[in-house]
Amino acid sequence: MEQTPATAPAIRIRDLVKRYTATGKSAGKLALDGVSFDVPQGQIFGLLGPNGAGKSTLINTLAGLVTKTSGQVEIWGHDIDHDVRNAKASIGIVPQEIVFDPFFTPAEVLNNQAGLYGVPKSMRRTMELLRAVHLADKANAYARSLSGGMKRRLLIAKAMVHSPPVLVLDEPTAGVDVELRRQLWELVSEMNHDGVTVVLTTHYLEEAEQLCDRIAIINHGKLIANKPTRELVDMAREKIVVLTLDRDVGVAPQHETFARSVASGERQIEIAYDKDRTNAGEVLLQVQGQGYAIVDVSTREADLEDVFVTLTSVPA
């Protein structure tokens, strides 16, 4: 793996602007509006944002597929404008779409990719990579015979043929089942454990919360948060109590200290409250005061989803 000064971030982005110019088919769009942040070395870094926020534009800029309008990007200390070769050598990108020639085998897919990156035959790690993504027994099977999960794992191995220190995954688990998602999380964690800095975009906030050391959120092309995951989750000021009542609830009981109160079942209500303004005991008293007997109580801590909704609900 190529060395870089210990202090340099894995990725450094400053004042990144991307304005798509209007064409006959599409209107112009300011997709990235002065984004600056660092991805520290050795982390799993999550990039989140609602649809259309600018995540793919940012990743495609790192991949050299989108030409930025202005700003500066360095990958592993290499400027993407002035040191293209080293910048490209320092990053592996796992695209969202699965595209393989169905007649190549996994071993051939990796060898071809290594050829594209100019990795000499003696330095190729084809079998090592296939073992790492648990595909060694499929080395010589046609790619078309692989399951969807196997294809995704092969894409990860393909992005790693030139041993880049930074791996970027665009929605690695979009549309995959729970079991496969867990397998992919494990694989990403193993690679990170072996020293690879990982950047991923995801729509699954649970995934980001479990996997990422740090999370940046983009909304309408602007960076609106960039914090260690724990700190971001702790920003949630709301707590939630779930109450089962003695009878059917028509309209959920309301009170000025409740942030939200909704019926979540025939006899169940969910009340969100601001933990700086009130507490669970007071909430129960308010509900009892409105004539209900409480049969069961549970509480739920706000999670990343709650924070995400709060931060991104600001209109453009």
Ligand X SMILES: Nc1ncnc2c1ncn2[C@@H]1O[C@H](COP(=O)(O)OP(=O)(O)OP(=O)(O)O)[C@@H](O)[C@H]1O
- CA 74 to chain CA centroid, Å, is 20
Q: Which of 56, 61, 183, 278 binds ligand X (CB under 6 A)?
A: 56
13-52 mask for ligand X (x: CB under 6 A)? Answer: -------x-----x--x-x-----------------x-xx
Q: Which of 35, 39, 55, 241 binds ligand X (CB under 6 A)?
A: 55
Residue closer to ligand X, measured from CB, 7 or 51? 51
Residue closer to ligand X, measured from CB, 11 or 31? 31
- The residue count for binding ligand X (CB under 6 A) is 12
Give the type of residue at 47: L
Q: Which of 54, 106, 164, 253 binds ligand X (CB under 6 A)?
A: 54
Cα dihedral: 161, 165, 170, 174 (round 10) = 80
Contact yes or no for 96/174 (Cβ under 8 A): yes
Q: Single out the segment in contact with ligand X by CB under 6 A; choices: 55-63, 81-89, 155-163, 303-311.
A: 55-63
DSSP per-residue letters across 116-142: HTT--GGG--HHHHHHHTT-GGGTTS-
Residue 18 Cβ vs ligand X, minimum distance, rounded to whole Å: 8
Residue closer to ligand X, measured from CB, 52 or 289? 52
| Residue found under tokens 């028509």 | 250
Residue 55 Cβ vs ligand X, minimum distance, rounded to whole Å: 4
146-175 mask for ligand X (x: CB under 6 A)? Answer: ------------------------------
Q: How many CB atoms are closer than 10 A to CB 236?
A: 20
Closest CA to 214 of 1, 77, 56, 9: 9
Report the distance separating Cα 257 and Cα 239, nearest Å: 12
Closest CA to 298 of 286, 284, 278, 310: 284
Residue 147 Cβ vs ligand X, minimum distance, rounded to whole Å: 24
E runs forming strands in the chain: 11-20, 29-39, 44-48, 70-75, 78-79, 91-94, 166-170, 197-201, 214-219, 222-228, 238-245, 258-263, 268-274, 294-301
Residue 16 Cβ vs ligand X, minimum distance, rounded to whole Å: 12
| Residue found under tokens 């769009």 | 29
57 binds ligand X (CB under 6 A): yes
Report the distance separating Cα 238 and Cα 270, nearest Å: 12
Residue 53 Cβ vs ligand X, minimum distance, rounded to whole Å: 4
Residue 31 Cβ vs ligand X, minimum distance, rounded to whole Å: 4
Residue closer to ligand X, measured from CB, 218 or 287? 218
Residue closer to ligand X, measured from CB, 173 or 286? 173
Residue closer to ligand X, measured from CB, 47 or 211? 47
Residue closer to ligand X, measured from CB, 31 or 39? 31
Cα dihedral: 73, 78, 82, 86 (round 10) = -130
Residue 11 Cβ vs ligand X, minimum distance, rounded to whole Å: 17
Residue closer to ligand X, measured from CB, 29 or 131? 29
Q: Please report, as ranges, the residues that interact with ligand X according to CB under 6 A.
A: 20, 26, 29, 31, 49, 51-57
